[in-house]
Amino acid sequence: MTENWLLNWAIMAVSLFNTIVLLWLGFTVVLNAQRRDWGLWLVAGELVLGEFSS
C-alpha cells in the first residue's frame, strides 16, 4: 500500500466493486441459463474465480 490514505481507499473500493461484480455476473449467468451444461458451468466458474486472479 502507499502512504496516501485516499489512494489506498480508492484502490480498496475498486477492488471490492470488482469482486462484487464478478460474483454477481457469474451467478446471474448460471441462474438465467436455459440449459445448464458443462460449458455454462465453465464460463460461470471462470467469472466467479476471476476475482482471485488479481
**pLDDT tens per residue across span 1-46:** 779 999 999 999 998 998 898 888 888 888 898 888 899 889 888 8
pLDDT band at 54 (very low <50, low <70, confident <90, very high): low
- Higher pLDDT: 33 or 50? It is 33
Domain residues of the chain, as ranges? 5-52
| CB burial of residue 19 (10 Å; 0-12, 13-18, 19+) | middle
Higher pLDDT, residue 1 or 49: 49
Q: Is the separation of the CB atoms in 3 and 21 below 8 Å? A: no
Residue among 40, 12, 13 nearest 27 (CA):
40
Residue 2's identity, in one-letter code, is: T
